[in-house]
Amino acid sequence: MRYNKKKFIYLISPLKIKKNFFKNLNEVLRQKKTSFFQLRLKKESFKKKFIIGRKIQKICKKFNVKFLINDDVQLAKKLNADGCHLGQKDINILEARKIIGNKIIGITCHNSIKLAHNAIKNKADYIAFGAFNSSKTKKIKHKATIDLLKKAQKITKIPIVAIGGINSNNYKNLLLNKANFLAISGYIWKNKKLKPKNAIKKLI
């Protein structure tokens, strides 16, 4: 997985996809700062996720953004997505490999080097740590630190994704400490002051 320093954003979908979302996504990806887009819908049916996923996939392809599915390996396979992201309670990475083959598989490692070691051993394509800040998207169970980022860099060359409450005020510290990608959702989609395209413009 090569990574482009200018395209450091790992964009995660809002939990509900509204009508104006697709227009906003076009505008956001047009800024050329996003390497990955993850579809994360917890409460929709498989069919609805598939329909939404196909629309998003076309937009991602247009802007050369990798399209990943959260949790649902079967959906990733059916959509022929670029890969999937797995949490610790999801299907095992080795099982996921059997289903989607040589696609991108990323693993949530919370704030644990032990979980990171495990993911690396099982040939994950990236590891994700968090939460680095308080977040409105998810309840914070695990708090990650810059020190953890440094430890992870010593044990692997695969990309490291930082998660959790990342916005225009705190993102630079994570990049300075060599997080390869920043997972961002609420700052873009739930920003009360800025439209999505204007929010992403502030991340330089």
Predicted model pTM: 0.95
Domain count, the chain: 1
Residue 82 domain-assigned (yes or no) = yes
pLDDT surpassing 70 at residue 107: yes
Residue 1 domain-assigned (yes or no) = no
Residue 129 CB burial class (10 angstroms; 0-12, 13-18, ≥19): buried
What would the pLDDT profile of 23-65 be if each residue is shown by its tens digit?
Answer: 999 999 999 999 999 999 999 999 999 999 999 999 999 999 9
Residue 3 domain-assigned (yes or no) = no
Residue 51 domain-assigned (yes or no) = yes
Residue 26 domain-assigned (yes or no) = yes
pLDDT of amino acid 86: 98
Residue 109 domain-assigned (yes or no) = yes
CB 25 within 8 A of CB 59: yes
pLDDT of amino acid 138: 64
26 in helix, strand or coil?
helix
Taking each helix axis as running N to C, give the angle between helix 113-121 and helix 146-155, from 0 to 180 degrees, rounded to the nearest 10. Answer: 30
pLDDT of amino acid 120: 97
CATH number at residue 70: 3.20.20.70
CB 197 within 8 A of CB 34: no
Q: Which two tokens stand for residue 146?
A: 């810059």
What is the residue range of 48's domain? 9-201
Of residues 137 and 134, more confidence is placed in 134
Residue 4 domain-assigned (yes or no) = no
pLDDT of amino acid 142: 84
In angstroms, the CA 123 to CA 200 distance is 31
CB 34 within 8 A of CB 9: yes
